[in-house]
A and B are shown apart, each in its own frame.
Chain A
C-alpha cells in the first residue's frame, strides 16, 4: 500500500462525507425539516409519552376486544406469509439460474417478483381496498402480494447458494428435473427458507398494523380509531400488545433458527 493509494482513499472518503452532508441539507430543504426544532421536540415528546401513554383500568376493560383483533392480525400475517411462501418457492425455482426451466419462465417469474416487491404494500392495500372493501381479505391480499416478491428474491438467493454443487452431482447421475428439485434443491434450501419465512412473519405483523390503518381492518384499525378519538390509554395498551406479540414471535423464531440452521 503506497502513498498514492492512501491519498486516493482519503480523497474518496472526504468526497463521500461531503456528498452525505450536501444530501442531508438538500433533503432538509426539500422536506422543510428543521434540525433545531426536531432536536427540541424530542424531550417534549418523551415527557408527553411518559405522562400520556399510561394504561389505566378503563383501558384494560378493552383488552378482550384488543386481543380478538390482535389474534386476527397475527393469523392474517401467518396465513399471508405461508401461502406466499408456497408460491414464492415455485417462482424461485423457476427464476433461479441453477434450476430454471427456460429463460422465458425465469424472466417472467423474476419480473412478477420485482413488481410485487417494489410496489409498496401501501399502494397494494389502497388498490385492493377499492374493490375488496373493508375486511380482512383485503389486508391478507395486500400482505400476500408484498411478501411474494420479497420471499422470491430471498429464495432465489438461497437456492443459488445452497444447491449449486448438488444439482450438478445429481444431474451427472442422470436424475430428472423433478428429482433434482425435490431431492436436492428443496431439502438443502429448506432450513434457510423456513428462517426467511419466520423473519417475514415478524415483519408482516408490523406491516399488518400499517395495512390495518389504511384498510380499516385488524389491530391497525383499532389503533387508528382510539388514536383519532384521543383515547391514549387504549392506544398505549394496543401498542404494548403488538410489541409483546412481535417479541414473542421473534424469540420463538430465534430458537427455531438456532436448531435448524
Chain B
C-alpha cells in the first residue's frame, strides 16, 4: 500500500525540456558562485585602481626595451663577481638560518598542535596563534623587528622565522595527524611514555615528509630573503637588486642580478621536486 501512495519523484527539467541533472547539487552551486564572484570582483577591481601616471602606450614599449636591455645585455658594473657570489651566499644564509630555526621550533609546536598527540585546549590555542602569525606579511614582521631589535641579519632572521614557524607548524601537524593510530596504540600499550611514542613512532614514520616540507620552506625562504633585502634593508643580493634598480637605474646590472637569483631558485626548485618525488614514491 505504501508504495502506491508514495509521491512520484519530481523530475526537474530545464526550459528546453531536458532533464536537469545538476539541480540541487550544492558542490556545483558553491563552485559556480565562487567563480562568478571572483569574476565580478575582478572586473570591479579595475575601477578601484589608482592610475596616477599610468601611460600604457608608453609603458609597454618601454618595458619591452628595458627587458631587452636586462636579459640580453646583462653586465655587472658596481661590484665584481666575488662580491656578487658573497651577496648570494648572504641571502642563502639568511634563508637557511630562518629555515633551520623555524623547523626546530615548528617541530615542537606541531607536536602540541597535532590533535592525536596533544590535548584539545593546547592544540586549539597553538592553531589560533599560528593563524594570526601567518596572516601578518613577513615584511611587516621584519620591519617591526628592525625597529625593536635594530637593523641587521638578526632582525631579518627573526622576522622570517616567525612566518616560517607558522607555515611549518601547519604542515608538520597535518603530517603528524596522519600517523597510523595503530602505531601509537601499539607503542602506548607497551607502556611507552609520550616522548618515547614521539621518538620511536611519530618521528620515523613522518621524517621524510618533514624533511621535504622543510626544504620546500627553504626554497620559499630564499625568495623571501631576496625580498627582505630589497624592502627591509636586510642585505644580500636583494639589497643589490634594489640599489641597481632604484638608485643607479642600471638595467644591465638588474638583469645580471635577476639571472643569478633565477639560477639559484631553479636549482633549489629542481632539488625540492626530486626530494618530494622520492618521498612520495617511498611512502
Interface residues of A (CB under 8 A from B): 20, 23-24, 26-28, 30-34, 37-38, 41-42, 44-46, 48-49, 53, 71-72, 75-76, 78-79, 81-83, 114-115, 117-123, 126-137, 140, 190-191, 194, 197-198, 206-207, 209-210, 213-214, 217, 220, 223, 227, 232, 235, 239, 242-243, 246-247, 250, 256, 259-260
Q: Is the CB–CB distance between B231 and A213 below 8 Å?
A: yes
* Closest Cβ neighbor of A38 among chain B residues: B154
Write the nearest CB–CB distance from A231 to chain B, whole angstroms.
12
Q: How far is the CA of A214 from the CA of B231 in the complex (A)?
A: 6
Quick one: which of A20, A114, A210 contacts B139, CB cutoff 8 A? A210
Q: Is the CB–CB distance between A27 and B136 below 8 Å?
A: no
* Closest Cβ neighbor of A42 among chain B residues: B158
Instruction: Please name all residues of chain B whose beta carbon is closer than 8 Å to the beta carbon of A26 when the two chains form the complex.
Output: 93
18 contacts between A and B (CB under 8 A): A24-B97, A27-B93, A30-B92, A32-B152, A41-B150, A71-B48, A78-B38, A78-B41, A123-B258, A130-B251, A131-B66, A136-B49, A136-B51, A198-B34, A213-B139, A243-B132, A243-B136, A259-B30
Q: How many residues of B contact A (CB 8 A)?
A: 81
Write the nearest CB–CB distance from B71 to chain A, whole angstroms.
10
Q: Is the CB–CB distance between B135 and A83 below 8 Å?
A: no
Interface residues of B (CB under 8 A from A): 26-27, 30-31, 34-35, 38-39, 41-42, 44-46, 48-56, 58-59, 62-63, 66-67, 70, 86, 89-90, 92-94, 96-97, 100, 131-132, 135-140, 143-145, 147-150, 152-155, 157-158, 223, 226-227, 230-231, 235-236, 238, 241-242, 245-246, 249, 251, 254, 257-258, 261-262, 265-266, 269
Q: Is the CB–CB distance between B144 and A49 below 8 Å?
A: yes
Q: Is the CB–CB distance between B149 and A45 below 8 Å?
A: yes
- The B interface is mostly helix, strand or loop, or mixed, namely helix
A123-B258, A256-B34 given; A131·B153 CB < 8 A: no
Q: Is the CB–CB distance between B136 and A126 below 8 Å?
A: no
A53-B144, A118-B265, A119-B258 given; A45·B158 CB < 8 A: yes
Q: How far is the CA of A190 from the CA of B30 in the complex (A)?
A: 12
Q: Is the CB–CB distance between B62 and A127 below 8 Å?
A: no
